[in-house]
Amino acid sequence: MASGYFYNPSTGQYGAQPGAAAYQATTAYYNATAAPAAAAAAYDYTAVTPTYGTYGAAARPVADTGATATYVSPYTSSTGYTAQPAYSTHTTYSQPPSGGVSMYSNSATYNKPRGGAVGRGGNMYGSGTKHYQPASKPFQSSATFNSGGASKPYNAGANTSYNKQTGTNTQTPYEKAVLTAASSYIKQKNVPGSKPGVQSPVVGGSAGAGTSGKFQSYKPQYGQNKGLGQAPRVPKPQQMHYCEVCRISCAGPQTYKEHLEGQKHKKKEAAVKAGNANNATLGQNALRCELCDVTCTGQDAYNAHIRGSKHQKVVKLHTKLGKPIPTTQPTVVNPPTPAKTTTAVSAEPKPVKKVVSTPKITFVGGTKLTTTEAGPKEVKTEQDKMDTTPAAGAGGDAKEIAPLLPKEKEIAPVGEEYLEEVKNDEGKAISFLCKLCDCRFTDPNAKEMHMKGRRHRLQYKKKVNPDLQVETKPSLRQRKVQEEKLRRQLLLEEYWRRDAEHRWREEMSHCRVYEDDRWRYGMEMEYGAQAPFPGHGGGPMPIRRGQTYDDRHIMAKHAMIYPNEKELQAVQSIVTATEKALKLISDQLAEQDAPKEEPPKEEQAEEQEEGKLQIKKDIKVETESDVEEKDDNKADEKKEEEDLKPRALKGVMRVGVLAKGLVLHGCLDVELILLCGEKPNKSLLSRVAKLLPEKLATVTEEKYEMKLSVRDAAILLASNVEPKSCVKLTLTSPLMRTSTDEPEDKQATRAKEPSDLLDKQKCQDALAALRHAKWFQARASGLQSCVIVIRILRDLCDRVPTWKSLNPWALELLCEHAISSGGNNMTPGDALRRVFEALACGVLLPGGPGLLDPCEKEPTDAAGNLQQQEREEITASAQFALRLIAFRQIYKVLGMDPLPAPRFNRKLGANTRKRKADGSAPETEEAGKKEKKEGEVMETAATTA
């Protein structure tokens, strides 16, 4: 990219962008995953409960105040957290500490993913649990527990201190933390069953007078637990192997382990980790059974699930385990107004039923899953009436849940008349037959569902009533396409991010000046967004698998001719130094010429706009001159309006190999173009030349040799140290190009210009080089394999005398034309062969089309400098090269030694001779064409039939 701009307005952004992007990405991640996947996260953390101690002491200060409200607040204030269930802390407080313990450890679990905001507290409690016994004595009071006094021990962070405090309860240390948790759960279950005073039937603890008042306020929440409380059960610490993810129990440790290693489980686990992402595709109608972690597509499906045996099994299992059973009320997966819900939650922390504790779960080592907490199982108070007991829920007499989803209501069963009951001999309906869909089912429940079902409705629409509205649902394929799109987008983003980072690093290394955009040059915007060393960003392509023989040779050769790190460095430093120095010179000249006036801001904007204009024009040469003229006119207008003299030096551009990224090893001559406000003359050239050494000295310590070449309208800068690099700085101005076809009066004004103008042809060549660089960036840089092939061919042109006469610009055009027409993803081998093929079939020959220069107004042959004989020789040479490539002698074309075969090839050697015998059609070879062939076969089959 020919972006040798002193002031690249967008450079400043480069610095910020990658970082910002990354930051955004992470936050987005948090937002997206934290809330819905809280449960998933929780799994991990509970599993590693013992390590809680490692989580920083960062968090507790808030919690230290001890008030219930405070405990709740951090959570409610946190935006992403819908995972309220953990905060059924209210309940916890009202209970013996053991309850609290489990709660806290749980809440810590939830917090963890957010960076340990409350982590410490959980941890403390968690470790504290050890010392509790299921409160055998009445718990003193929640006030005590919550009081500031309690906070101290927490702060101290030692279990002992906690012990001290709880010591008043005369509790003895408990053996196992998990067991505690379990008991706490029982209590939790049981408490609501009794009076508000909260006593655990098992433990027999009764709350103090002081507490009761407090508890009262939480009464409503207990209410919801009633259902659970009605069936008090003392869970034995039984050996149970329960997989939390799949919600199944296993008969023994062995099966459990096997299950954990199984595919089904892994899939599920991955799905849980992926969180809500899958649900997003399901649309608004999805309902979720939290218990089974099953998503249903509709109300009916959900009802069916609740009735179904699988659900019943899970309910049974959970009951057995003593795990809480959420109501049968489904969770709407994608609630239409999610924002509202969250605010509601944070406004009044809803009591939520907690879910903890299993009786002694055996965690088989090696997995980090398994937790007591499955997910946000919340039961909202307002759903009290839905508070069916687990038994009730399981009993199947649960009333149909009122449609939660607005859309669902609209669907009325259709086509009942087409349903036929199939009766058995006794006249009892044994099954149903839908004549529309030609399907049969035995379940009467399914009947209604079927009538509401999409398939049935579609059939109905097709066969009975075409007016019926059937909502379209994305087909599997569409969904796949969507997913694929998403994935690709992610990849692309990743690519851009890396790319941007890469550029940014490069930019940072050498051009701080870019941030300053006072440099007035209209075209700078055009290249503003591009990296200074464009093609080099790509570097030698990474070696890919599945390379052909040709590819390997080309890549090996390419590695040889690609400039090494040191050379790139040298070029970069000399170019950067020159650019910086020129910027200083430009400033100085501007000061000298117009000492008082600084260009006002708005004008800069205008200039930038012009730049944009020119971006649009891009390669379309036809319009270019118009724009330039406009440019010109504008400049003139400005002159009149503001009487402002434009800067003498408007900008510096990288062109040629530098802009195109075609610098080759051992040839570090690069070109810059200095664009002047007026037509450049000799005095300007000498002025610049005079100032350059001193300015160079200010920007760099390296010494460069400078030579002035008036004939070339250029200044030559060369470095003395190895690797030797050379910069050719040509002066030119856009005005040089339009001068010939100007109207008369303008020419008259031009006549006044000094006569010592620099060589016009040289200046115009420089402008052409600028256009070529632009064209190259637009067309060739992004083309796969194109830049590599051009480098290879440039090397060929240097080596082989026949090819010397082919100028670089013609070569670039040729390569781009040939490769771009060859379809996507050509490997370097294919691309090179194709370029030779294009030459071989006579593109350059007198009868051929030639190479039309896209950067000239008039139809021009870019290879116009070639004599007929030269054309003939290049064509003949290309033809020979093509055959060499076809016959596995590409190394001769590339001027290198043949590479040894890759190792996996070795074994083949012995056998290959035998091929004479075989004449059968290659099967693997033309797999692509096989399809076509098959098509033909089909066709003939059709015709014969």
Partner 1 sequence: MVMRGQPGNRRRGGMRMGGFRAFVPHVPFDLVLCEPQNVFPRCRPSPDETAFTQALLKRNQDLSPTAQEQASVLALITKVNQVMDNMIVAPAMFEACQIEEIRQVGSHKKGTMMAGHNVADIVALLKTLPTKEAVNALASKVLDDLKESDAAEVLNMAINESGFEIASSDATVKVLITTIPPNFKKLDPELHLEAKVMQSHLGAIRHTRWFEENAFHSSIKVLIRLSRDLRNRFQGFRPLNPWIIDLLAHYAILNNPARQPLPINVAFRRCLQLLSAGFFLPGSVGITDPCESGTQRVHTVMTLEEQDQVCFTAQTLLRVLEHGGYKQVLGFEGNSSIATEMSVWEGVVVTPSEKAYEKPEKKDGEEEDAEGEGEDDVEGEVGDDMDTVDGQ
716 binds partner 1 (CB under 8 A): no
Q: How far is the CB of 578 from partner 1 (least distance, A)?
A: 36
**Residues linked to residue 861 through DSSP beta bridges, in sequence order:** 852
Q: How many other CB atoms are found less than 10 A from the CB of residue 852?
A: 12
Amino acid residing at 897: D
852 binds partner 1 (CB under 8 A): yes
In whole angstroms, give the CA distance from residue 259 to residue 271: 16
Sign of CA dihedral 199, 203, 206, 207: negative
848 binds partner 1 (CB under 8 A): yes
Looking at residues 80 to 119 of the shown chain, list those that interact with partner 1 (rule: CB under 8 A): none
Give the single-character DSSP code of 411. Answer: -
Q: Look at residues 791, 790, 784, 788 and name the one whose alpha carbon lies nearest to residue 826.
A: 784
Amino acid residing at 369: L
In whole angstroms, give the CA distance from residue 590 to residue 242: 80
Q: How far is the CB of 879 from partner 1 (least distance, A)?
A: 4
Looking at residues 317 to 356 of the shown chain, list those that interact with partner 1 (rule: CB under 8 A): none
The answer to whether 777 touches 823, Cβ cutoff 8 Å, is: no
Closer to partner 1 by CB, 194 or 784: give it: 784
Among 100, 193, 828, 850, binds partner 1 (CB under 8 A): 850
Closer to partner 1 by CB, 99 or 829: give it: 829
Q: How far is the CB of 572 from partner 1 (least distance, A)?
A: 35
Provide DSSP, 592-621.
HHSSSPPPPHHHHHHHHHHHHHHHHHTT-H
The encoded tokens of residue 720 equal: 């003395």
Segment contacting partner 1 by CB under 8 A, of 238-246, 283-291, 408-416, 866-874: 866-874
Looking at residues 868 to 907 of the shown chain, list those that interact with partner 1 (rule: CB under 8 A): 868-869, 872-873, 875-876, 879-880, 882-889, 898, 901, 904-907
Q: Which residue pairs, CB below 8 angstroms and at least 24 apart, start in 868-876?
A: 870/802, 870/805, 870/806, 871/844, 871/845, 871/846, 872/845, 873/802, 874/802, 874/803, 874/805, 874/806, 874/839, 874/844, 875/839, 875/840, 875/842, 875/844, 875/845
Q: How far is the CB of 900 from partner 1 (least distance, A)?
A: 9
Among 457, 520, 728, 834, binds partner 1 (CB under 8 A): 834
Among 847, 941, 942, 944, binds partner 1 (CB under 8 A): 847
The answer to whether 11 touches 505, Cβ cutoff 8 Å, is: no
Closer to partner 1 by CB, 1 or 811: give it: 811
In whole angstroms, give the CA distance from residue 619 to residue 777: 10
Closer to partner 1 by CB, 173 or 935: give it: 935
427 binds partner 1 (CB under 8 A): no
Give the interface size with partner 1 as a residue count (CB under 8 A).
81
In whole angstroms, give the CA distance from residue 114 to residue 37: 12
622 binds partner 1 (CB under 8 A): no
In whole angstroms, give the CA distance from residue 226 to residue 379: 12
807 binds partner 1 (CB under 8 A): no
365 binds partner 1 (CB under 8 A): no
Q: How far is the CB of 831 from partner 1 (least distance, A)?
A: 10
Q: How far is the CB of 625 from partner 1 (least distance, A)?
A: 19
Classified as helix, coil or strand, 412 is: coil
In whole angstroms, give the CA distance from residue 180 to residue 676: 83
Q: How far is the CB of 875 from partner 1 (least distance, A)?
A: 6
DSSP strands (E only) in 336-444: 419-423, 429-434, 439-441
Looking at residues 550 to 579 of the shown chain, list those that interact with partner 1 (rule: CB under 8 A): 550
> Going by C-beta distance under 8 Å and a sequence separation of 6 or more, which residues neighbour residue 164?
153
Provide DSSP, 281-336.
GG-TT-EEETTTTEEESSHHHHHHHHHSHHHHHHHHHHHHHT-----SPPEESS-S
Strand order in the sheet with 725-732: 649-655, 668-676, 725-732, 714-719, 704-709
**Residues linked to residue 709 through DSSP beta bridges, in sequence order:** 714
Distances (CA, A) of 610 to 518, 646, 772: 15, 15, 20
938 binds partner 1 (CB under 8 A): no
Binding string, 516-555, against partner 1, x = CB under 8 A?
-----------------------------xx-xxx-----
Closer to partner 1 by CB, 595 or 859: give it: 859
The encoded tokens of residue 755 equal: 């006569």
In whole angstroms, give the CA distance from residue 915 to residue 536: 44
Q: Look at residues 671, 711, 674 and name the one whose alpha carbon lies nearest to residue 691.
A: 674
Segment contacting partner 1 by CB under 8 A, of 98-106, 245-253, 486-494, 864-872: 864-872
Among 9, 97, 656, 822, binds partner 1 (CB under 8 A): 822
In whole angstroms, give the CA distance from residue 815 to residue 792: 11
> How wide is the angle at C-alpha 904 spanned by C-alphas 899 and 905, nearest 5°?
60
Closer to partner 1 by CB, 428 or 903: give it: 903
806 binds partner 1 (CB under 8 A): no
Looking at residues 908 to 927 of the shown chain, list those that interact with partner 1 (rule: CB under 8 A): 908-909, 911-927
Q: How far is the CB of 769 from partner 1 (least distance, A)?
A: 20
Closer to partner 1 by CB, 400 or 939: give it: 939
Segment contacting partner 1 by CB under 8 A, of 32-40, 480-488, 766-774, 836-844: 836-844
Q: How far is the CB of 549 from partner 1 (least distance, A)?
A: 6
861 binds partner 1 (CB under 8 A): yes
943 binds partner 1 (CB under 8 A): no
What are phi and psi for residue 241, nearest 5 degrees? -110, 105
810 binds partner 1 (CB under 8 A): no
Among 321, 818, 866, 894, binds partner 1 (CB under 8 A): 818
The answer to whether 207 touches 197, Cβ cutoff 8 Å, is: yes
Segment contacting partner 1 by CB under 8 A, of 183-191, 338-346, 415-423, 822-830: 822-830
Closer to partner 1 by CB, 555 or 838: give it: 838
Up-side HSE of residue 191: CA atoms within 13 Å toward CB? 35
Looking at residues 114 to 133 of the shown chain, list those that interact with partner 1 (rule: CB under 8 A): none
Among 427, 542, 743, 823, binds partner 1 (CB under 8 A): 823
837 binds partner 1 (CB under 8 A): yes
Provide DSSP, 190-218.
HGGGS-TT-B-TTT--B--HHHHHHHHHH
Among 379, 581, 663, 851, binds partner 1 (CB under 8 A): 851
778 binds partner 1 (CB under 8 A): no
The encoded tokens of residue 202 equal: 């098992």
805 binds partner 1 (CB under 8 A): no
Closer to partner 1 by CB, 97 or 829: give it: 829
Closer to partner 1 by CB, 388 or 877: give it: 877
Q: How far is the CB of 884 from partner 1 (least distance, A)?
A: 5
Segment contacting partner 1 by CB under 8 A, of 42-50, 246-254, 521-529, 819-827: 819-827
812 binds partner 1 (CB under 8 A): no
Q: How far is the CB of 84 from partner 1 (least distance, A)?
A: 55
Q: How far is the CB of 534 from partner 1 (least distance, A)?
A: 24
Strand order in the sheet with 439-441: 419-423, 429-434, 439-441
Q: How far is the CB of 829 from partner 1 (least distance, A)?
A: 7
Looking at residues 654 to 713 of the shown chain, list those that interact with partner 1 (rule: CB under 8 A): none
Among 610, 853, 866, 894, binds partner 1 (CB under 8 A): 853
Closer to partner 1 by CB, 263 or 867: give it: 867
Closer to partner 1 by CB, 4 or 829: give it: 829
The encoded tokens of residue 805 equal: 């006469």
